[in-house]
C-alpha cells in the first residue's frame, strides 16, 4: 500500500501486471492497459458492463454543474486523445495526489486497487435524509483491476465485497455523517470500477468473490487498506 503521487512522481507502473500504468495528469488519474479488460462500473460513462483499456478518475470543482456530464466527459476524451468508447469515466472532487494504491498476487489472479477519497459528504446508508435529483461530484472512487478470469456474477459479488470493506474502513476511522453523527458507510456519490483481463491462460474462472474466497478476501483487503490510507490523509498536504 502506498501513495505514489505524493512525491514528485506522476507515473506508477504495476509491479505485478506488465503494461498496467497509472498516470497523474493535471486534472485526472488515468489507468492505462495494453489490452482491454471486461469492466463493471457505476461510473458516469459508460456504466454497467463494458470493455475498456482506459479508466479515468477526473477531478472536477466542488461547484461542478452540468446538464449532461456524460456528453461533457466524452467531449473531453477527444481533447485527451482517448477513445471514449473504450474509456470509463469517474468524477471526483478528492485530492488526486493522495490516491492510495495496493497490489496483491494470489490464487490464479493478480490485483491492483487504487482509491481516491473525500468524505465531506459522508453518509450512512439506510437512514432517511434530504435527497436530490441533481448530480453532484465528490466522493470515494475505487478502481479494481484484476488479471484473472471471473464470471459476471462474481464481478457483481466483488462490488458487494468492496463496498463492505469500504464501510469497515470508514468505521475504523470514525467517519460520521454530519447531519446525524452516526458512523458513515460511504459518501453520497461513491463510484467503483472493476476491470478483469479474462485472460484464458489462467485456466481457472473465479465464480464467487465473497470474503471467504481467495480472490474476494484479497479484494476486501485491498479496498479496506486503500480507503483507510486515502481517507486518513485527505486533509494533509
Q: Is the pTM of this model over 0.85?
A: yes
Which tens digit of pLDDT belongs to each residue from 94-121?
A: 999 999 999 999 999 999 999 999 987 8
Which tens digit of pLDDT belongs to each residue from 143-159?
A: 999 999 999 999 999 99
Across 64-68, 131-135, 199-203, 215-219, least confident range: 131-135
More confident residue, 123 or 118: 118
pLDDT above 80 for 129: no
User: Contact, 88 vs 39, CB < 8 A?
Assistant: yes
Which tens digit of pLDDT belongs to each residue from 43-71?
A: 999 999 999 999 999 999 877 878 898 99
User: What does DSSP say about strands 100-106 and 109-118: parallel, antiparallel, or unpaired?
Assistant: antiparallel
For residues 175 and 119, give the distance between their C-alpha atoms in angstroms, rounded to a whole number: 8
Cell digits of residue 225:
487498506
pLDDT above 60 for 136: no
For residues 81 and 54, give the distance between their C-alpha atoms in angstroms, rounded to a whole number: 11
Amino acid at each position: 500500500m502506498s501513495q505514489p503521487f505524493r512525491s514528485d512522481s506522476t507515473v506508477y507502473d504495476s509491479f505485478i501486471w506488465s503494461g498496467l500504468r497509472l498516470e497523474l495528469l493535471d486534472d485526472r488519474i488515468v489507468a492505462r492497459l495494453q489490452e482491454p479488460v471486461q469492466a463493471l462500473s457505476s461510473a458516469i460513462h459508460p456504466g454497467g458492463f463494458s470493455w475498456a483499456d482506459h479508466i479515468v478518475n477526473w477531478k472536477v470543482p466542488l461547484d461542478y454543474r452540468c446538464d449532461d456530464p456524460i456528453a461533457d466527459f466524452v467531449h473531453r476524451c477527444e481533447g485527451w486523445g482517448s477513445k471514449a468508447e473504450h474509456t470509463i469515466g469517474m468524477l471526483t472532487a478528492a485530492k488526486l495526489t493522495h490516491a492510495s494504491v495496493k497490489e496483491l498476487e494470489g490464487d490464479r489472479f493478480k490485483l491492483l486497487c487504487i482509491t481516491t477519497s473525500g468524505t465531506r459528504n459522508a453518509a450512512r446508508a439506510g437512514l432517511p435524509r434530504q435527497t436530490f435529483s441533481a448530480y453532484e461530484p465528490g466522493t470515494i472512487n475505487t478502481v479494481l483491476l484484476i488479471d484473472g478470469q471471473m464470471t459476471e456474477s462474481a464481478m457483481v459479488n466483488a462490488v458487494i465485497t468492496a463496498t463492505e470493506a469500504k464501510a469497515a474502513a470508514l468505521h475504523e476511522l470514525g467517519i460520521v455523517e454530519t447531519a446525524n453523527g452516526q458512523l458513515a458507510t460511504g459518501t453520497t456519490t461513491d463510484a467503483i470500477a472493476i476491470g478483469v483481463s479474462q485472460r484464458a491462460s489462467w485456466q481457472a474462472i473465479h465464480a464467487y468473490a465473497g470474503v471467504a474466497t481467495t480472490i474476494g478476501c484479497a479484494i476486501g483487503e485491498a479496498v479496506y487498506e486503500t480507503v483507510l490510507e486515502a481517507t486518513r490523509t485527505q486533509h494533509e498536504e
